[in-house]
Amino acid sequence: MPKDRKRSLLGAGAAVALVLVFAATWAVLDRSEHRPGWLVAEAPPAAVIGQPLEIRITLEDPIEPTRIACTLHRAGTDRRIREHIALSGPAQETGGGRTHVFHFEVPDKEDLVFLSAVVYLSPTGSWQDRTRAAHTRLIPVRRHPLARELQELRKIRVYRSTLPAEDALAEAAAPETGRGPSSWDHAVIFVILLATAVLCRLKAGNKRQDAPAEESVERTVWLVFAAVLALGGVFELSGLVDHLANWARRLAEGTNVYELRKAYQKAIMAAVAAASLGLFFLFIRAIRRPGSHRYLWWAGIGLAEYLAVSFVSVLSFHAVDVFRGTTWHGLSPMSAARGAGTLVTLLAASLALHRKRGKTVT
What local confidence, expressed as pLDDT, does residue 198 receive? 93
Residues 190 and 149 both lie in one domain:
no
Nearest one of 59, 169, 77, 168 to 121, comparing CA atoms: 59
Contact 188, 343 (CB under 8 A): no
Contact 296, 344 (CB under 8 A): no
Residues 236 and 338 both lie in one domain:
yes
Residue 318 lies in a domain: yes
Residues 224 and 121 both lie in one domain:
no
Q: pLDDT tens for residues 281-304?
A: 877 777 666 665 788 888 888 888
What local confidence, expressed as pLDDT, does residue 143 receive? 85
Residue 219 lies in a domain: yes
Q: pLDDT tens for residues 212-249?
A: 777 788 888 889 999 999 998 888 887 776 667 666 66
User: Domain count of the chain?
Assistant: 2
Nearest one of 306, 361, 357 to 202, comparing CA atoms: 357
Residue 217 lies in a domain: yes
Residue 45 lies in a domain: yes
Residue 353 lies in a domain: yes
Report, as ranges of residue numbers, the positions in the chain whose pLDDT lies below 50.
175-181, 361-362
Residue 2 lies in a domain: no
Residue 296 lies in a domain: yes
What local confidence, expressed as pLDDT, does residue 194 receive? 93
What local confidence, expressed as pLDDT, does residue 362 receive? 40
What local confidence, expressed as pLDDT, does residue 177 receive? 43
Residues 116 and 189 both lie in one domain:
no
Residue 7 lies in a domain: no
What local confidence, expressed as pLDDT, does residue 333 receive? 77
What local confidence, expressed as pLDDT, does residue 361 receive? 42
Residues 122 and 83 both lie in one domain:
yes
Residues 152 and 191 both lie in one domain:
no
What local confidence, expressed as pLDDT, does residue 353 receive? 85
Residues 134 and 195 both lie in one domain:
no
Q: Which residues constitute the domain of residue 140?
A: 39-156
Pairing of strands 39-43, 52-59: antiparallel
Residues 133 and 193 both lie in one domain:
no
**Omega cis (within 30) before 52:** no
Q: Which amino acid is at 74?
A: R
Contact 43, 56 (CB under 8 A): yes
Residues 301 and 240 both lie in one domain:
yes
Residues 189 and 152 both lie in one domain:
no
Which of 105, 136, 156 is at the close of a domain?
156
Residues 58 and 118 both lie in one domain:
yes
Which of 140, 156, 172 is at the close of a domain?
156
Residues 248 and 345 both lie in one domain:
yes
Q: What is the CATH number of the domain that holds 117?
A: 2.60.40.2550
